[in-house]
Amino acid sequence: MKTRHLLLAAIGLAAWLTPQGWAAGRAQALGACTGQEAWQLPDDLSRKFQSEFREFLAGRSSPMRGLAMGIALRQQSAAQPGVRAFSEYWISRALFEARLIPIAAQGFTLLAASPASRSQAGIQLAALQCLDAIRSRNPAFGIPERVTQNLASLQALAETQPEREAIFNAALEMTADPRAVDRLLKDAPAWRSLHELQSAARAGNHAQSVEAGTRFLKESPLPPRLERYTDSAHLLVARALYSLGRPAEAVAHDRAISKKSNHLAQGIQEMAWALLASDRPGEAIGAALSLQAGGLRHTFVPEGPMVMAMAFNELCHFQESLQATQRFKNDYESSWNWLEAWSKRDPAGHLALYPLAVRFLKKDKTLDVPLRIATEWARSPVFQAYQEEINLLYDTRDAGMALSRAGALEMQELSLQIERDWRRLKPRVQGEHRRLKPGETLSSRLRDELAALKAKILAYRRMAQAAPALKNILASFEESSPSIRADRVERINRDLDERTRGMHIRLEEIAENNQLIEVEIFNGASQDIIFQNAHPEYRELAQKMKARIERASAEKVLDWGRISAASAEANAEIWEDELGTFQAELIDHCESKDKYLALRRKNP
């Protein structure tokens, strides 16, 4: 059977409901391609095949035997469309169990994309559930367009919640026809809200992003399959709120991003901006300091020091503000130099980025790429998804070889069993035949043993017939794999190239902004020097005010120690679960000067 590559899989779905409320006379599955898979099998499927399939699902029958049974059933069911569709599912399910995920996905796709009919709908929807299970583990594996075009027909025949949810999940893959998606998600509020959020964010409709995202995040309980979108939803809503001039509300969403999320660094950086725009410079400094903690200090977040410099400047802490601008220069100088050199190379040089990213993941100590740039590559969702797919191609090749070896060993063991059983039974059969009188038959025990032997012989023959088919499947996969890998590498390279150019542009912009900030700092600092020379007693008053603030704070909270927000050289240890929650306890010199002058006017 000619196969093309499709991609990855993974079981890992939540436990489904127990089988109940089955539609009479209809084959259907709950939890397809999961450890809780349960079936109402086709009525016209023989009891022998039903028993074999249940043995396969229970793990008491090998994937090779399952493949052989599926192929045998297909050969016998040409005149039974429902049974033939089930045989195709069985074949793909056996390949899935053997970890030949891309090949199995091809079979599931053919089933789910076939014209929907009641006799086959339950099997097609089971195939769709399997495609959804595959995609849940590998985001690069999209639901093919020929499947999404068939969703409306399948939805009209869906009867169980797992079947409906498979439709909803697949509908999120559709971007070309928003009205079709709206119709598919009419009765799925959580999926509809998520779809509206994603569409509004792409269109730059901030008000709709906030409205749809808020609805999505308020869903309780959120369907388990959608929990993975929670962090990205918080990030999109926060950006929309900030763009609408509501930074204080954006902070709450940035802060809600999981500490284990790939969006954490970006979320904290954007939270620092939102805090600064909300006139909370102390908290903005704390958020920027969080980006110097743990693994985050190696991420590409160059706006952190800039926010810190602006916040210090707003508090009239000019020396600390200058130190923050210097921190940006110290932290990102090597990144800037590398990006400058890279940008001057031949445009085709971007093809070398993928090997560099792989060398970084392999911890190649000879790699000369700055750490912040390399981690930005590694954090790319495009790189992660397609690299998993490339890894899967190699895993599938190894799994195919393992299945072939296991099948050969199983056939060898089966042939030995057949030979031993026949040697043991032959003299008994001959002896009973000699003693039989006219009209008598062999003993029931012997007949049962002969039936068991016949079943083993039949199983051996079916596996022997399946072996060439498996060989052709693996050969076709191996033939198509190089072009697929090349395509995925090219997609990764394009993404890394775009990201790298974006990093270069951002550093140029921030460097220019830093110069403007420094001008403001020097202007403010010069005025501060004049002020303090004119009012020498102010410095002593400011120190007393700071001590009073610290005493008041100590009375309210346990003293766990402080991080010196003024020290731009500090690499203080920060607890991971406190990321983004700091608030620098700094006296506002700008405000205190105003208070000082007011006191002087009141008490000259």
User: How many CB atoms are located within 10 Å of the residue 493 CB?
Assistant: 18
Give per-residue pLDDT as tens, 491-513. 999 999 999 999 999 999 999 98
Q: How far apart are CA 44 and CA 50, in angstroms?
A: 10
Q: How far apart are CA 296 and CA 418, in angstroms?
A: 63
484: confidence class by pLDDT, cuts 50, 70, 90:
very high
Global pTM? 0.81
Q: How far apart are CA 107 and CA 33, in angstroms?
A: 13
If one compares 378 and 585, the residue with the highest pLDDT of the two is: 378
Give per-residue pLDDT as tens, 540-589. 545 554 555 444 444 433 333 333 444 434 443 333 444 444 445 555 55
Mean pLDDT of 431-447: 86
Residue 141 has pLDDT above 80, yes or no: yes
Mean pLDDT of 15-40: 70
Mean pLDDT of 433-461: 89
Mean pLDDT of 85-101: 96
- Extract the tokens encoding 229: 């979108």
Mean pLDDT of 407-418: 95
Mean pLDDT of 460-489: 95
Q: How far apart are CA 267 and CA 258, in angstroms?
A: 10
Calculated CA dihedral for residues 189, 124, 148, 261, nearest 10 degrees: 60
Q: How far apart are CA 522 and CA 268, in angstroms?
A: 28
Instruction: State the number of CA atoms in the 13 A half-sphere of 331 facing the CB.
Output: 28
Average pLDDT of the residues of the chain = 83
114: confidence class by pLDDT, cuts 50, 70, 90:
very high
Query: Is the Cβ–Cβ distance between 73 and 86 less than 8 Å?
Result: yes
Q: Is 286 exposed, middle or buried (0-12, 13-18, 19+ CB in 10 A)?
A: buried
pLDDT at 156: 94
pLDDT at 269: 94
Mean pLDDT of 28-45: 91
- Extract the tokens encoding 72: 């045998």
- The CA distances from residue 380 to 28, 376, 384, 500, 560, in Å, are 39, 6, 6, 11, 36
Least-confidence region, from 49-58, 184-193, 311-320, 453-462: 311-320
Peptide bond just before 438 cis, omega within 30 deg: no
Q: How far apart are CA 505 and CA 405, in angstroms?
A: 53
- Extract the tokens encoding 208: 């709709």
If one compares 483 and 282, the residue with the highest pLDDT of the two is: 483
pLDDT at 388: 93
pLDDT at 547: 53
Mean pLDDT of 204-226: 94
What proportion of the chain, given as a percentage, has pLDDT over 70?
81
Q: Is 557 exposed, middle or buried (0-12, 13-18, 19+ CB in 10 A)?
A: exposed
Q: How far apart are CA 496 and CA 503, in angstroms?
A: 10
What proportion of the chain, given as a percentage, has pLDDT over 90?
61
294: left (phi over 0), alpha (psi -120 to 50) or beta: left
Mean pLDDT of 402-420: 95
Q: How far apart are CA 122 and CA 39, in angstroms?
A: 10
If one compares 79 and 357, the residue with the highest pLDDT of the two is: 357
Mean pLDDT of 442-463: 92
Residue 81 has pLDDT above 80, yes or no: yes
Q: Which residue has the tokens 């607890």?
A: 575
Instruction: Name the amino acid, one letter, at 298.
Output: H
pLDDT at 543: 55
Mean pLDDT of 9-28: 44
SS3 142: coil
Q: Going by C-beta distance under 8 Å and a sequence separation of 6 or more, which residues neighbour residue 144?
A: 6, 109, 113
Domain ranges of the chain: 1-17+25-187
Q: Which of 145, 101, 506 is nearest to 302 (CA)?
A: 506
SS3 30: strand
State the DSSP string of 536-585: THHHHHHHHHHHHHHHHHHHHS-------TT-TT------GGGTT-----
pLDDT at 295: 79
Residue 268 has pLDDT above 90, yes or no: yes
Q: Which residue has the tokens 């120190």?
A: 543
Which of the listed ranges 10-14, 21-25, 425-429, 565-569 does the model predict with the highest average pLDDT?
425-429
If one compares 351 and 445, the residue with the highest pLDDT of the two is: 445
Mean pLDDT of 281-300: 87
Q: How far apart are CA 271 and CA 574, in angstroms?
A: 18
